[in-house]
Amino acid sequence: METVFDRIKNLADSRGKSIVDVEADLGLSKNYLYKWKKSAPNSTKLIEVADYFNVSTDYLLGRKKTKDSSEEQETKDLKKFLEDNLDNGMTFGDGKVTQEDREKLEIALTQIFYRYHDEFKKRKNEKGEFKF
């Protein structure tokens, strides 16, 4: 079974870094991460390591197979939502939307996205896309 340490080692290797480099970058003492081979990590330090590699703590703990953090996935989902609903055919009157109006529309759509995020997520999982 792959341990938290194994996942961190794989992430470090993929960036061309050693465990010693990661420990130094995070201000951890020498061999701090090696201790995670056999013992449970401190939750605060686990979060720091996850943030360092831009992965979720669930990924480091082996609870998720993908490296994407939920925040990163939300950002991707929001981008797709905005592309689908703002960039693809949203026009008014003469078909021209000013930059100022576009920025306001983006703010409004972002607010709508986060207000209904769970519902959008459910629809995406069911149909593979966001639709009103």
What values do phi and psi take at 130, rounded to 5?
Answer: -95, 130
pTM of the model: 0.48
Q: Residue 105's pLDDT is what?
A: 81
**Closest by Cα among 25, 27, 2 to 12:** 25
pLDDT digits (tens, 9 = 90+) for 11-25: 998 888 999 999 999
Q: Which domains does the chain have, with CATH numbers?
A: 4-60 (1.10.260.40), 70-127 (no CATH)
